[in-house]
Amino acid sequence: MNEDVPLDEQGEVARQFLVGLLDQFDAGGSDVQIRQVDEETVELAITGEDLGLLIGPKGATLQAVQELTRTVVQRQTGGHNGRLLVDVAGYREKRKAALERFAQEVAEEVLSTATRRVLEPMQPADRKIVHDLINTIDGVTTTSEGEEPRRRVVILPSG
The architecture that CATH gives domain 7-89 is 2-Layer Sandwich (3.30)
Q: Say what the alpha-carbon torsion angle 60, 62, 63, 68 is, to the nearest 10 degrees.
A: 130
Q: Give residue 158's Cα distance to chain centre.
A: 28
Q: pLDDT for 36-55, tens place per residue?
A: 988 899 999 999 988 888 99
Query: Residue 139 has what pLDDT?
Result: 96
Please list, residue by residue across 4-19, b when 16 or more beta carbons sit within 10 angstroms of its beta carbon and e when fewer do: ebebeebbbbbbebbe
Let me know if the fold of 7-89 is the same as that of 94-157: no
Q: Specify the CATH number of the domain 94-157.
A: 3.30.1370.50
Q: pLDDT for 108-146, tens place per residue?
A: 999 999 999 999 999 888 999 999 999 999 999 999 999
Structural domain boundaries in the chain: 7-89, 94-157
Q: pLDDT for 41-98, tens place per residue?
A: 999 999 998 888 899 988 889 999 999 999 999 999 988 888 899 999 999 899 999 9
